[in-house]
Chains A and B, each alone.
Chain A
Amino acid sequence: MTKEQVRQAILDILTEIAPDEDIHSISDDGNLRDQIDLDSMDFLDIVMELRKRFNIEVPEKDYEFLATMSSCVNYLFPLLGDRKLAS
Chain B
Amino acid sequence: MVYDAIIIGAGLSGLAGGIRLALFDKKVLIVEKHTVVGGLNSFYTRKSRTFDVGLHAMTNYSPAGQRRSPLGKLLKQLRFRHEEFRLCQQETSEIRFPEKSLHFNNDFEYLKQEIAEQFPDQIDGFLKLLEKIENYDELSLVNNAPVSAKDVMSEYLSDPLLIDMLFCPLAYYGSAREQDMDFYQFVIMFKSVFVEGFSKPEGGMNYILNLMVEKYRRLGGEMQMGNGVKSIRTQNGKAVGLVLDDDSELQAKTILSSAGYLETLRLCDPAPAELKEVKAGQMTFMESIFVLDQLPKDLGYDQSIVFFSLNSKFQYRSPKIPIDPDSGVLCCPNNFQYPSPLPEGILRLTHQANYDYWNELPRKDYIAAKKEQRAQALEKLFKIFPNFSESVVFLDSFTPKTIEKYTGHLNGAVYGAPEKSKNGQTPYENLFICGTDQGFLGIIGATLSGISMANLHILKN
Residues of A within 8 A of B (CB): 16-20, 37, 39, 41-42, 44-45, 48, 51-52, 60
Complex interface: chain B residues within 8 A of A44 (CB): 455, 459-460
Instruction: List the A residue with the shortest CB-CB distance to B456.
Output: A44
Interface contact A37-B67, CB-CB below 8 Å: yes
Inter-subunit contact A41/B76 (CB<8 Å):
yes
Which residues in A have their C-beta under 8 angstroms from that of B76? 17-18, 41-42
B residues near A16, Cβ cutoff 8 Å:
79
The size of the chain B interface, using a CB distance under 8 A, is: 15
The total of interchain contacts (Cβ-Cβ below 8 angstroms) comes to: 31
Give B131 Cβ to nearest chain A Cβ, in Å.
23
> Quick one: closest A residue to B72, CB to CB?
A37
A44 to B452, CA, bound (A): 11
- State in angstroms the CA–CA spacing of A14 and B320 once bound together: 56
Q: Which residues of chain A are within 8 angstroms of B64 by Cβ–Cβ distance?
A: 20
Contact across chains for B24 and A51 when beta carbons are under 8 A apart? yes
Known: A42-B76, A44-B459. A18 touches B24 (CB 8 A): no
A41 contacts across to B, CB distance below 8 A: 73, 76-77, 455
20 contacts between A and B (CB under 8 A): A16-B79, A17-B76, A17-B79, A19-B81, A20-B64, A20-B65, A20-B67, A37-B67, A39-B67, A39-B68, A39-B73, A41-B73, A41-B76, A41-B77, A41-B455, A42-B67, A44-B455, A45-B77, A52-B24, A60-B460
Least distance between B77 CB and chain A CB atoms (Å): 6
CB neighbours (8 Å) of A45 from chain B are: 77
* Distance between B447 CB and nearest chain A CB, rounded to angstroms: 13
Q: Is B25 an interface residue (CB 8 A)?
A: yes
Q: Is the CB of B460 within 8 A of A52?
A: no
CB nearest neighbor in B for A17 = B76
Question: Are B459 and A48 in contact (CB-based, < 8 A)?
Answer: yes
Do B24 and A48 have beta carbons less than 8 Å apart?
A: yes
A16, B68: Cα distance in complex, Å: 17
Q: How far is the CB of A16 from chain B (nearest CB, A)?
A: 8
Alpha-carbon gap, A80 to B77, bound state (A): 26
How far apart are the CA atoms of A37 and B72 in the complex, in Å? 11
CA distance A52 to B23 in the complex (A): 9
**Interface residue ranges of B441-461 to A (CB < 8 Å):** 455, 459-460
* Bound CA span A37–B73, Å: 11
1/0 per residue B8-30: CB within 8 Å of A? Answer: 00000000000000011100000
CA distance A44 to B451 in the complex (A): 12
Instruction: Determine the chain A residues whose CB is within 8 A of the CB of B77 once the complex forms.
Output: 41, 45
Given A39-B73, A41-B76, A48-B23, 5 extra CB contacts under 8 A? A17-B76, A20-B64, A39-B68, A42-B76, A48-B459
Q: A35 to nearest B CB, angstroms? A: 13
Please, which residue of chain B has its CB at the minimum distance from the CB of A48? B24
Give the residues in chain A near B24, CB-CB below 8 Å: 48, 51-52
